[in-house]
Structure 1
Amino acid sequence: MTEAVFRETTADPRTQSVPLSHLSLELGHLYMEDFAAGPERLRRHFDEVRIWVEAARASAARRTGGKRPRISTCFLIDDYFTRFSTPAELVPLILKEAEEAGLVIDYLARESGCAVADRIELAESVMHRLVESPPPGSHGSRPPVSRTGWLANGQRTPTTRNALAEVTVWQPPQETAARNHSVFMDVELWSEKDGRRQWSCPFLAAVWQLARLGLLRHLGEPVLTPRPWDGEDFPHDWDRLPPLLRLNDSATPFSAYRTCTLVPNRFVAVEDAVRLILDQTDVDSGALRQVAERSAGEGAAVPAAVAQRATYVFYEEPIDSSLSEGT
């Protein structure tokens, strides 16, 4: 006789999978001051990016054994820290300059969507998944990141006093996984003003990387998913523009096994901080397992460490001739 077993459906949480490309190639992540500088700044950016796109594509093809890789492109607009112009004016300009450089933007995202998308507090959700790496010999005196808003990759400089001399004794900070010498980092994840939290650029960029890697979930459901654009005019209000748009109907999936970000070298410090955050984020285990199994099945296995799946090209920005005149 077979005994029936009854179980709550919530007892077996299911992580929904997402379609995946081999590579998510970011063609730009610029601030509003870059757009305010006019079309010429965008033109120089895309002309420089175009040089590196083919190299990124060739690298992706090598990882897939010479097979044609699935590569999607994306572009991120900062509408979180400042708002400039309107989508109706700005988005067509971006698409036009990219097209003239021979580039196609498949997906367009708003940075504010990395904070909140479809009424889901994405940044808050990722913050609760942070797991600090305790430095050797630590004894719990340091407040948790959930209280301080700061995340480090080791032991901060301790403040101690010599009881006899009554003087402060300085000690250096120490990286937890130092190799011969420490490279210590302490990253601010948010600030607060008038009781309102503002997420930092590195933290929102970490959420953005997790979305591009197909690793963001809310109650098992994918979040920050692309919506198709119907081809109508773009709105005049940023809040009326979806957090993530699919502009190209023939594009391969937005999320991918790996990411490659093409940005000016002034972003180096920000992206170093992003990798620190990713290294200390407890990513959804179901999403991790799905990506690992599917990538291995395609012969495109990914590194176990999430941060190692993100690669970068930091290019030197061309000098603005208008600024150099007369100097």
Structure 2
Amino acid sequence: MRGTGVFQETSARPCTEAVPFSHLSLELGHLYMEDFAEGPERLHANFAAVRPWVEAARCSVPAPPDGKRPRVSTCFLVDDYFSRLATPAELLPALLKAAERAGLTIDYLARESGCAAADPGRPEGGGLAEAVLGRLVETPPPGSKGFRPPLSRTGWLTNGRRAPAQRTGAALNSAASWQPPSETGARGHSVFVDVELWDESAGRRTWSCAFLAAVWQLARLGLLRDNGKAVLTPTPWDRSGFPDDWDALPPLLRLNSSAAPFSAYYTCSVLPARFLPVEHAVRVILEQTHVDSGALGQFVERSGGEEFTVPPGVVERTSYVFPPGL
């Protein structure tokens, strides 16, 4: 008897575009537009506080088996999504000068709006954030009976079981009816997190900072593809200056022509402590993201070929530093 396998033309399966990898992608900070409005000294103080931790992060990268120095690239994410108080031409030269003054080099500059929709030609609501949303797979908590609406409708993602809603007056009067939320896989006690992925107003969706930061982490890890094609790829800076319109600036700009690759096996972000809750939410999102299998396969193959040990989980490849006083 002949087999019943399913045959498919090779051309029907999109090839997964390869991307080069550094050993570490090192984020030199993330500031709001309000921080930039405080002037050059605020920017310099930020980078001066970041620098010693940057050096420590560089030294923490395991030496490759070939004896060469680890490949480390630096990046900076500018918030042009939630507010635009100044133009790129006004803001970016001061940013680069402040980093240089502190002894730091920004290899790659990214726009946060690029994490929402990297392709300006796509219709409203499309782009990277929409693609990553389609890859979220909620982890059902133990004992769950599927009573809660899907995240595609609510815009909320959790790391466990929410407290049941009280529906009757009798239930409100009974202390025994209350049940606390619980974290899936908690070690001893729960740290329950309910993450808002977006909200909507007048039919327009606004992605949350936490969700865009999760997209940013996946991009830095080289795990994003669109029908096999690499996305958020660096555009070389021709040093002719910066435009007066944020939308005229590429989503990801390579400022340093000799920089190591943007994507990396590991990421480390040096951030103000106010971002700690956001990054906790990022980890909840990453733990429930189904990564493109082709991109993940390339990641594993490339790191294995270099005999460079990489943890199997995406979350384990991300790390953070929250310096005091930053």
Q: TM-score, normalised by structure 1?
A: 0.92
Q: Which moved more, 1:96-105 or 1:289-298?
A: 289-298
Would the aligned equivalents of 2:51 and 2:104 in 1 still touch at CA under 8 Å? yes
1:138-178 deviations in Å (ceiling 9; x for gaps): 11110011010000000000125689777352110011111
Would the aligned equivalents of 1:292 and 1:301 in 2 still touch at CA under 8 Å? no
**Residue 237 of structure 1, aligned match among 239, 245, 250:** 245
Amino acid paired to 2:268 = C
Q: 1:180 to 1:146 in 2, by over 3 A?
A: same
Equivalent runs, 1:205-284 vs 2, <5 Å: 205-284=213-292
**Residue 200 of structure 1, aligned match among 183, 193, 208:** 208
Would the aligned equivalents of 2:63 and 2:69 in 1 still touch at CA under 8 Å? no
1:193-252 deviations in Å (ceiling 9; x for gaps): 011000000000000000000000000000000000111021011111110000110001
- Give the aligned partner of residue 39 of structure 1: 40
- Give the aligned partner of residue 303 of structure 2: 295
- 5+ unaligned residues in a row in structure 1: which ranges? 1-5, 319-327
Once residues 28 and 180 of structure 1 are traced to their aligned partners in structure 2, the CA distance between those partners, rounded to angstroms, is: 33
Would the aligned equivalents of 1:152 and 1:184 in 2 still touch at CA under 8 Å? yes
Q: TM-score, normalised by structure 2?
A: 0.92
Q: Which moved more, 1:200-209 or 1:58-67?
A: 58-67
Equivalent runs, 1:16-165 vs 2, <5 Å: 16-62=17-63, 67-118=68-119, 119=121, 121-160=127-166
1:268-295 deviations in Å (ceiling 9; x for gaps): 0000000000000000011111111111
Percent of matched pairs sharing the same residue: 67
Q: Tell me, what secondary structure is at the counterpart of 2:109? A: strand
Q: 1:94 to 1:179 in 2, by over 3 A?
A: same
**Residue 324 of structure 2, aligned match among 296, 303, 316:** 316
Once residues 165 and 177 of structure 1 are traced to their aligned partners in structure 2, the CA distance between those partners, rounded to angstroms, is: 28
- 5+ unaligned residues in a row in structure 2: which ranges? 1-6
Once residues 32 and 7 of structure 1 are traced to their aligned partners in structure 2, the CA distance between those partners, rounded to angstroms, is: 50
Q: 1:291 to 1:187 in 2, by over 3 A?
A: same
The CA RMSD measured in Å over matched residues stands at 1.8
Q: Which segments of structure 1 move beyond 2 Å, counting only runs of 4 or more?
A: 6-13, 61-67, 159-169
Q: Tell me, what secondary structure is at the counterpart of 2:74? A: strand
Residue 64 of structure 1: how far off its partner (Å): 5.8
Q: 1:183 to 1:64 in 2, by over 3 A?
A: farther
Amino acid paired to 2:45 = R
1:55-90 deviations in Å (ceiling 9; x for gaps): 111111446686300010001000000002110111
Amino acid paired to 2:262 = F
**Structure with greater proportional strand content:** 1
